[in-house]
């Protein structure tokens, strides 16, 4: 590794999608550093298997499983509320869970599936945990994006659910660009409000996880789906290596809010700080903020719902 995670004794970490792939490796590393890790997961059976795997490596790990369906605003709010109730201070939140290039669909709340899970679910999850995050000493929120964000367009407030035309990969790129804009916008808000919390963004490069296989099994990805399964298996980094950028963003003492971490060579390499291009940054973030509040009815700061 390019840095030392250090000893996280007494720290509370929350990881979404911690039952497999990057999320599991992230939870394993944080638990190994002695953080108490809240594993926010959709599939509790799979999560129990993941918990046992972590305990085989780190028998003294402190772990907690919380059922969280990011495709349901009700489930997301309930899960985050229960976590916040048990943990008045949260030091690390890693918004890791996501879906990729699925066929057109809607969440239970009627949102386009990929934006609804990858961004809007994490929007509400983060907002509900906000009191615990700002109560901690210099908490970090890390949101996981993708190089696919370069193929996505910023959210159009006039067509949030892509009713004027849907294509799986551009929709995925749009959701990951939303993750990027969310992470950067959140850090700006922390600074504006005088909070010590920081928000960073990370991407895993090309990693061989279940994400590609899940996409194909769900009928997504089109002709490119099987190709990416093959490519990730052939040349992709392991999930443990792919998790390093988000781990570095979460734990490196030298990291700062508003930074982006990813593999040195784009798809591969050690985790490093990457350049952030801010073209039309503020406008896109402002639009995303407004759309997210309107769609979910949840403000990022404050307990009152949007009216």
The SS3 of residue 193 is helix
On whether the CB atoms of residues 14 and 35 are closer than 8 A, the answer is no
Burial class (CB in 10 A: 0-12, 13-18, 19+), 270: middle
Residue 277 — φ and ψ, nearest 5°? Answer: -95, 125
Radius of gyration of the chain (CA): 18
Q: List, in sequence order, the alpha helices (H) in the chain.
A: 21-32, 44-57, 73-86, 113-115, 122-135, 168-193, 210-217, 224-235, 239-242, 244-251, 281-296
Annotated active-site residue 261? The verdict is: no
Burial class (CB in 10 A: 0-12, 13-18, 19+), 299: middle
Check 125, 172, 182, 289 and give the catalytic one: 172
Q: What is the DSSP letter of 198?
A: E
DSSP assignment of 213-241: HHHHHTT-STTHHHHHHHHHHHHPBPHHH
Task: Tell me which residue has tokens 């700080």.
Answer: 273
Active-site residues, by number, are: 172
């Amino acid at each position: 590794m390019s840095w030392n995670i250090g000893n996280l004794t007494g720290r509370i970490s929350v990881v979404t999608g911690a039952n497999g792939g990057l999320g599991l490796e992230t939870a394993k590393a944080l638990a190994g550093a002695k953080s108490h890790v809240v594993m926010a997961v959709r599939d509790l059976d799979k999560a129990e298997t993941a918990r046992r795997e972590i305990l085989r490596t780190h028998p003294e790990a402190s772990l907690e499983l919380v059922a969280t369906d990011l495709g349901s605003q009700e489930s997301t709010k309930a899960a985050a509320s229960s976590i916040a109730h048990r943990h008045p201070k949260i030091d690390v939140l890693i918004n890791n869970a996501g879906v990729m290039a699925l066929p057109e669909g809607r969440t239970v709340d009627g949102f386009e599936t990929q934006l609804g899970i990858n961004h809007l679910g994490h929007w509400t999850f983060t907002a509900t945990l906000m009191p615990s995050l700002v109560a901690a000493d210099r908490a970090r929120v890390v949101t996981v994006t993708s190089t696919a964000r370069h193929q996505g367009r910023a959210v159009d407030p006039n067509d949030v659910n892509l009713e004027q035309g849907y294509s799986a990969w551009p929709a995925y790129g749009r959701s990951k660009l939303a993750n990027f804009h969310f992470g950067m916008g959140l850090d700006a808000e922390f600074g504006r409000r005088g909070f010590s919390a920081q928000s960073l963004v990370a991407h895993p490069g090309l990693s061989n996880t279940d994400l590609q296989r899940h996409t194909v099994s769900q009928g997504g990805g089109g002709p490119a789906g099987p190709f990416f399964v093959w490519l990730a298996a052939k040349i992709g980094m392991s999930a443990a290596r792919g998790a390093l950028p988000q781990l570095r963003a979460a734990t490196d003492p030298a990291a700062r809010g508003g930074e982006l971490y990813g593999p040195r060579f784009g798809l591969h390499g050690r985790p490093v700080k990457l350049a952030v291009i801010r073209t039309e940054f503020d406008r896109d973030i402002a639009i995303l903020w407004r759309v997210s509040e309107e769609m979910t009815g949840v403000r990022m700061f404050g307990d009152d719902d949007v009216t």
